[in-house]
Homo-oligomer: A and B are copies of this chain.
Amino acid sequence: MSQTNPFEIDLDRRPANYQPLTPLSLLERSAGIYPDKTAIIHGSQRITYRDFWQRSLRLASALNRRGIGRGDTVSVMAPNTPQMLEAHFGVPMSGAVLNSLNIRLDGPTIGHILEHGEAKILLTDTEFAPVIREALAVSGKDLLVIDIDDPEGEGGERLGGLDYEDFLKEGTPDFEWIMPEDEWDAISLNYTSGTTGNPKGVVCHHRGAYLAAMSNPMMIGLGSDSVYLWTLPMFHCNGWCFTWGVSAMGATHVCLRKFDPATVFRLIEEHGVTHQCGAPIILNAMAHAAEEVKPSFKSKVVIATGGAAPPSPVIAALEPMGFEVIHLYGLTEVYGPATICAWQKSWDDLDLEGRASKKARQGVVYPSLNGMRIGDPETLEAVPADGETLGELMLRGNTVMKGYLKNLEESEKSLKDGWYRTGDLGVMHPDGYIEIKDRSKDIIISGGENISSLEIEETLYRHPQILEAAVVARPDEKWGETPCAFVTLKDSSAETNAEEIIQFCREHMAHYKTPKTVVFLELPKTSTGKIQKHVLREKAQAL
């Protein structure tokens, strides 16, 4: 209607009203409000918010004095320790980009990442000296290596000439930390492990990290009084951005170098833990822990999981112990969690199976994103919300990565259509909740029918003797492919066999979907605990 828009005249951005969104300022805020509160618990160590902030400033300052700044990469190889949290703030506060390394990777792969990611400095926990020594040899890079000698660790060789604590002394807590020039500036570089080929470097920006740091606490109900236990690796999408989010709320981090159920239950009791996150394998281990290590007290812990739906036996085991399981879904490319199975009050009265089947769905989109679609992979059109039509999950919004570092081809493939293509296949239910059925390549096509390997796995998990299960396609002359199940039993002496398991499946799902083959073995896993389906696929082909 208007010829001139009065709202665009003399109303430009200025420093007073426009500042780059960044999670870094959120730690500064928490340190200002709760200087004497415990920010980090690690063994017998207690680090206040004042010290957390000042140590992060020292780190930023020391990096700055060593010539590190905008566009430089600083890599870190560490388990869930205070130094890792400090790196999440101190590194970007120097203007640099944080590259957290997957501590389960092998030397050559890490060497490749250091090279591809153009690391200038490496902070490394002495536990990983052997693999880092190999990585450095492979990469041939002349890196400044700073050793983190964590008193809670088991020691290990020092590789560089500089100790982390000494390095901090090179810096000053009076350092004026470097705001990003633009909130689109990179804050982190995370390599996805994938299952084959060379890893891809996911570049995240300050804007998205701020929004994730605000959204995550909101989604799982984490506040300033919360106590968050680190059962999720911090190297995993920056700990699903909870490294920043827990600090943003002024809550307390409880660090943990190595997961085991007994330690977890002890820490929950000792520190009044209220929240944790973890891969399904973590929940599984807690659910099936030996009775003598299970807590005698009733916890009140929200535990968020993602990567696969929490199976009903796990929910059934955890709920009586006082755990509330929240199902999230995400990927490194979307800063960790991107959807949540938001609970509906009307589901409270369902029985265990009913609740588990609701909770198995990946749910609804995060408030930091503003588009979610199950779309036809060709046309991108949304498929009907009928809970049956399979399509690809696509996401859009401000917690989607900038792209892959130095890999325009892959960036284009996944981002060019106006949507981030997750590569995951799923359905849209009539109530607007999505449910992932499979990775594109995990669909089994048998007699022309698409069969979801995930669906078969869910059925297998309901079998009382099965601890873990994975299903892949096995080539078949008649059907093209048939489902082949690999299972680990809870007790290897259990009285079951392939026929009995197939029969169990026939009773619980459509006959054409039941596995034709069942193999008993210990499932092969990646360094992040993902089942290596490509290994199983090779096995199935060789059968």
Contact = CB atoms under 8 A, between A and B. Distances in A.
Interface of A: 1-2, 4-19, 21, 25-26, 28-29, 32-35, 67-72, 97, 118, 120, 184-186, 189, 203, 208, 214-215, 217-218, 221, 223-225, 248, 342, 344-345, 364-365, 367, 370-371, 395-398, 400-403, 405-406, 408, 411, 415-420, 431-432
Nearest to A408: B10
A29 B189 CA distance: 30
Contact of A6 (B21, B405, B419): B405
A6 B400 contact: no
Given A1-B71, A16-B419, A17-B396, 14 more contacts: A1-B120, A2-B118, A4-B71, A5-B70, A7-B97, A11-B411, A16-B415, A17-B401, A19-B371, A29-B367, A33-B432, A34-B344, A35-B432, A214-B214
6 contacts: A10-B408, A16-B420, A19-B370, A29-B367, A34-B344, A214-B218
Contacts of A371: 19
A389 B416 CA distance: 56
A218 B217 contact: yes
A203 to B, nearest CB: 6
Contact of A19 (B7, B214, B397): B397
A120 B2 CA distance: 10
Contact of A365 (B17, B29, B416): B29
A330 to B, nearest CB: 15
Contact of A214 (B367, B419, B432): B367
A118 B6 contact: yes
A416 B14 CA distance: 8
A9 B215 CA distance: 28
Contacts of A418: 14-16
Contact of A370 (B7, B10, B25, B400): B25
Contacts of A203: 7, 11
A377 to B, nearest CB: 15
Contacts of A224: 342
Contact of A400 (B16, B32, B184): B16
A398 B17 contact: yes
A95 B119 CA distance: 46
Contacts of A19: 370-371, 396-398
A39 to B, nearest CB: 15
Contact of A72 (B1, B17, B401, B415): B1
B29 A68 contact: no
Contacts of A25: 370
